[in-house]
Amino acid sequence: MKTFYIETFGCQMNVHDSEKVIGTLISQGYLQVATPEEAELVFYNTCSIRDKAEQKVFSRLQQFKKEHGKGKTFAVLGCVAQQEGEKIFEKAPHVSLVCGSASYNRLPQMLVQLEAGNRRVTGLALDTEETFETPLTRRDNPHRAYITIIEGCDKSCAYCVVPFTRGPERSRTSASVLSEARQLAEMGYTEIQLLGQNVNSYRDPSSAGWDFATLLRNVGQVPGIRRVRFTTSHPRDFVKGIIEAIEDNPALCNHVHLPVQSGSSRVLASMQRLYTRDEYMRRIEWMKAARRPIAITTDIIVGFPGETEDDFEATLGLLEAVEYDSVFSFKYSRRPNTPALTLPGQVPEEEKGRRLTILQERQRAIQVRRNAAYVGAVEESLVEGFNKATGQWIGRTSQNKTLNFLRPGAAEDLLGRYVDVRVTRAGPNSLAGECVN
């Protein structure tokens, strides 16, 4: 049997793409192995969002070839593959396949070409009309399943490579999303996470014509599905109907990830984010006024070209105004092909580092405060793991908080179950407590 190894970098979309690729490879008679050393075919599913991503991929490929490369076939998938294209064959001649995410539906044919000895196989078209779905998807997590609802991105944020690496938006039909959700429920999955670079611009291509809020309501009603999450939301397309859907449907989780990027309207305009700080805050107010306690998380970029000390202060002020439950924060990173690459006013690395540290310290204090408010509360938690070192179960609340807990006395396996946990302690990044049932 032919063996393959796959290593995945990047966002949940990439993780889920790898699940589909793995299923496809297995259906073609390949066997997955745990290390690149054991494999005949080595796949890297790459991310190019930040930080010299392409150089890192090349040095990884080079290093691996030196150490264990003999007789192996190398394939580069994902966003670096799409971005660098055939240049990869020049820089890393031991690579035989370069394929972006919009071409994975052609993988079986590409494997045949590889097996026939073709050393330069490519899948780089971005004009695919359909999304890549396969009933063969090999999901890793036995409880939570990802479902892609929309691929690509039609926005053009000035710093971002995604529109170049994943192409234009393509939505799946609501019927195919729902039928996948029903099948997953029958297989025993209880949590579904709907994926897309911008799920809010989901538009059912079938005659039903559903928008995202309608799709969300319907997925939330699939029997057996107890939790539905979705990521990522773009503020410009985030409508009140999404919050109303959450309010009405217990299966939709109390969590919205709404990336803001900056608290300064001036920087937002130069980022081409298509909303102002006030427009963003209006969406936050909808969530705060909701009948459900919705946790809010975000992404922030510090040191975007032209970001002044005042702009940065505005972002710090926004953290306090929103009181996020969690923030992913990044130093602006110059990316190939993007409009921001040539903007004046690039901020020195050291200054970006200083701003990032200040922002993360501020946010940490907010999380300490917010999490402390949960002490005494009882939270339903999906049990996702067990920590042998501490004897604690690892749970996740509807608000997407990690809740580590003890369950004295009982030795039974709780994995995948929903239990009620009383919160007794809180830290900046997690809660701890005791099971009450």
Which residue ranges make up the site for ligand SF4 (CB under 6 A)? Answer: 153, 155-157, 160, 162-163, 197-198, 234
Angle separating helix axes 107-115 and 12-27, nearest 10 degrees: 60
Nearest distance from residue 79's CB to ligand F3S, in Å? 3
In the complex with ligand F3S, which residue's Cβ is closer, 202 or 374?
202
Give the tokens for residue 189.
Answer: 């999955």
Q: SS3 of 243, please?
A: helix
How far apart are alpha carbons 211 and 295 in whole angstroms? 23
Nearest distance from residue 127's CB to ligand SAH, in Å? 21
If one asks whether residue 261 binds ligand SAH (CB under 6 A), the answer comes out as yes
Nearest distance from residue 86's CB to ligand SAH, in Å? 24
How far apart are alpha carbons 414 and 394 in whole angstroms? 10
Question: Which residues in 263-282 contact ligand SAH (CB under 6 A)?
Answer: none
If one asks whether residue 234 binds ligand F3S (CB under 6 A), the answer comes out as no
Nearest distance from residue 15's CB to ligand F3S, in Å? 9
If one asks whether residue 432 binds ligand F3S (CB under 6 A), the answer comes out as no
> Which among 352, 370, 274, 272 has a CA at the least distance from the CA of 315?
352
Site for ligand F3S (CB under 6 A): which residue of 6, 13, 92, 225?
13
Site for ligand SAH (CB under 6 A): which residue of 103, 198, 201, 397?
198
Amino acid 67 reads: E
Site for ligand F3S (CB under 6 A): which residue of 4, 5, 6, 10?
10
Give the tokens for residue 188.
Answer: 């025993």
> Which among 306, 312, 299 has a CA at the least distance from the CA of 353?
312
In the complex with ligand SF4, which residue's Cβ is closer, 153 or 195?
153
How far apart are alpha carbons 166 and 168 in whole angstroms? 7
Tell me the Cα Rg of the chain: 23
In the complex with ligand SAH, which residue's Cβ is closer, 122 or 261?
261
As beta bridge partners, residue 227 has 191
Give, in order, the Cα–Cα distances in Å from 249 to each of 217, 232, 242, 293, 399.
7, 20, 11, 13, 15
392-397/378-387 β-pairing: antiparallel
How far apart are alpha carbons 6 and 321 in whole angstroms? 43
If one asks whether residue 418 binds ligand SAH (CB under 6 A), the answer comes out as no
If one asks whether residue 78 binds ligand F3S (CB under 6 A), the answer comes out as yes
Q: Binds 78, which of ligand SF4, ligand SAH, ligand F3S, none (CB < 5 to 8 A, cut-off by type)?
A: ligand F3S
Site for ligand SAH (CB under 6 A): which residue of 49, 110, 195, 314?
49
For the sheet containing 295-302, what is the strand order?
255-257, 295-302, 326-331
If one asks whether residue 143 binds ligand F3S (CB under 6 A), the answer comes out as no
Task: Tell me the CA end-to-end span of the chain in Å, nearest whole number.
Answer: 48
Site for ligand SAH (CB under 6 A): which residue of 143, 170, 283, 335?
335
Site for ligand F3S (CB under 6 A): which residue of 22, 49, 99, 199?
49
Identify which range of 33-41, 155-163, 277-285, 343-351 contacts ligand SAH by CB under 6 A.
Answer: 155-163
Which residues are within 8 A (CB) of 52 and not within 5 positions of it... i.e. 6 or more apart?
333
In the complex with ligand SF4, which residue's Cβ is closer, 79 or 177?
79
Identify which range of 75-83, 172-180, 329-337, 374-382 contacts ligand SAH by CB under 6 A.
Answer: 329-337
Nearest distance from residue 102's CB to ligand SAH, in Å? 16
In the complex with ligand F3S, which residue's Cβ is closer, 75 or 287?
75
Which residues are within 8 A (CB) of 384 and not within 5 positions of it... i.e. 6 or more apart?
143, 394, 395, 396, 415
In the complex with ligand F3S, which residue's Cβ is closer, 160 or 178?
160
In the complex with ligand SAH, which residue's Cβ is closer, 259 or 263?
259
Nearest distance from residue 55's CB to ligand SAH, in Å? 15
> Which among 12, 8, 380 has a CA at the least distance from the CA of 192?
12
Give the tokens for residue 161.
Answer: 């490579």
Amino acid 43 reads: F
Question: Taking a C-beta distance cutoff of 8 angstroms, is the pair 72, 95 a contact?
Answer: no
Site for ligand SAH (CB under 6 A): which residue of 131, 137, 190, 197?
197
**Exposed/middle/buried for residue 316 (C-beta within 10 Å: 0-12, 13-18, 19+):** middle
Nearest distance from residue 424's CB to ligand F3S, in Å? 36
Site for ligand F3S (CB under 6 A): which residue of 6, 16, 19, 48?
48
- Residues at the contact surface with ligand F3S, assessed by CB under 6 A: 10-11, 13-14, 47-49, 78-79, 161-162, 165-166
